[in-house]
């Protein structure tokens, strides 16, 4: 007897030797259906997270002390630094200026940090450099995480995924899908988050013959192009629609990212769209 989709979803096990991506393929269910269940939070925390998210997009140098002061003095909230620090960890935030470390740290053995390879590098072709990052996405009654992989030459989004947890496996699966569809980049750039410094992720990248690059500690602006993408996603889509749940969020982001790739013109690209630059340049190179 063929099992229902819900029953098949229940079989997905994160501790299984097979990756979530492979398990979903075997069970013939969408990987997004496993990942898009929102994480619930109190109404006050969700309110604070939304404010922090918008303020951080505009002022990424604000660490926990400055953000706490802003919430207290400017926004009128009676909260302490510990609460803001916990919300920073939940949201995966780390200020781009030197200050207290608030990003999610790896546990156990020390994770390997790779050097930043993009300084003074001239990016001249698609698939020369890809960059990846994770951001917090609010939905009604909870939140999710969005990760995206962008080709820096064309600003084309080669891969993205939603999840209710920030894991190395989720990030690896997203990159693996992008590589299967678009080929391998020469360099892959991330920040120093524990998802990206874990052996599971770094070994996957390096075994593909890809050079791994990591932003300097507390230097979010090293990954400026993907930070600009987050601003576009949130101001042009997420904040406008206030998605009810993970399914609606997934479908809405799917439409927006297709629009971003195929219709949204960029001044930095001579008012062309990312897909045109990515595909045309690949044809010329071939």
Residues 14 and 116 in one domain: no
Question: Please, which pLDDT band fits residue 27 given cuts at 50, 70 and 90?
Answer: very low
Dihedral of the alpha carbons of 26, 27, 33, 34, in degrees to the nearest 10: -80
Residues 98 and 126 in one domain: yes
Residues 13 and 136 in one domain: no
What does the pLDDT read at residue 222?
Answer: 65
Residues 45 and 27 in one domain: no
Residues 56 and 137 in one domain: yes
Q: Tell me the per-residue pLDDT of 143-168, one tens digit each, with 9 for 90 and over.
A: 999 999 999 999 999 999 999 999 99
CATH number of the domain within which 207 lies: 3.30.420.10
What does the pLDDT read at residue 223?
Answer: 77
Residues 58 and 45 in one domain: yes
Residues 96 and 236 in one domain: yes
Residues 30 and 83 in one domain: no
Residues 19 and 60 in one domain: no
Total structural domains within the chain:
2
Residues 158 and 16 in one domain: no
What does the pLDDT read at residue 284?
Answer: 62
Report the predicted TM-score, pTM, of the whole model to 2 decimal places.
Answer: 0.81
Owning domain of residue 23: 5-35
Q: Tell me the per-residue pLDDT of 73-91, one tens digit each, with 9 for 90 and over.
A: 999 999 999 999 999 999 9
Residues 177 and 136 in one domain: yes
* Average pLDDT in the chain: 85
Residues 19 and 103 in one domain: no
């Amino acid at each position: 007897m063929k099992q229902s989709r819900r029953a098949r979803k229940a079989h997905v096990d994160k501790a299984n030797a097979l990756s979530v991506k492979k398990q979903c393929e075997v069970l013939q269910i969408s990987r997004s259906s496993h990942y898009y269940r929102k994480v619930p939070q109190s109404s006050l925390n969700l309110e604070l997270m939304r404010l922090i998210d918008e303020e951080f997009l505009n002022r990424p140098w604000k660490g926990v002390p400055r953000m706490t002061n802003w919430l207290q003095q400017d926004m009128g909230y009676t909260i302490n630094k510990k609460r803001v620090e916990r919300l920073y960890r939940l949201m995966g935030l780390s200020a781009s200026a030197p200050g207290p470390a608030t990003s999610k740290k790896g546990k156990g053995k020390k994770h390997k940090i790779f050097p930043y390879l993009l300084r003074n590098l001239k990016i001249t072709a698609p698939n020369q450099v890809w960059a990846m990052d994770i951001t917090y996405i609010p939905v009604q009654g909870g939140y999710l995480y969005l990760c995206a992989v962008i080709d820096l030459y064309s600003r084309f989004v080669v891969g993205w995924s939603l999840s209710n947890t920030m894991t190395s496996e989720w990030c690896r699966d997203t990159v693996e899908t992008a590589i299967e569809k678009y080929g391998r980049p020469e360099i892959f750039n991330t920040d120093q988050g524990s998802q990206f410094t874990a052996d599971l992720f770094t070994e996957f990248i390096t075994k593909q013959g890809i050079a791994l690059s990591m932003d300097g500690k507390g230097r979010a602006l090293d990954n400026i192009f993907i930070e600009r993408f987050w601003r576009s996603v949130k101001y042009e889509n997420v904040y406008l629609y206030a998605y009810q749940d993970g399914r609606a969020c997934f479908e809405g982001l799917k439409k927006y990212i297709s629009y971003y790739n195929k219709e949204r013109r960029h001044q930095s690209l001579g008012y062309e769209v990312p897909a045109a630059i990515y595909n045309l340049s690949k044809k010329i190179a071939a």
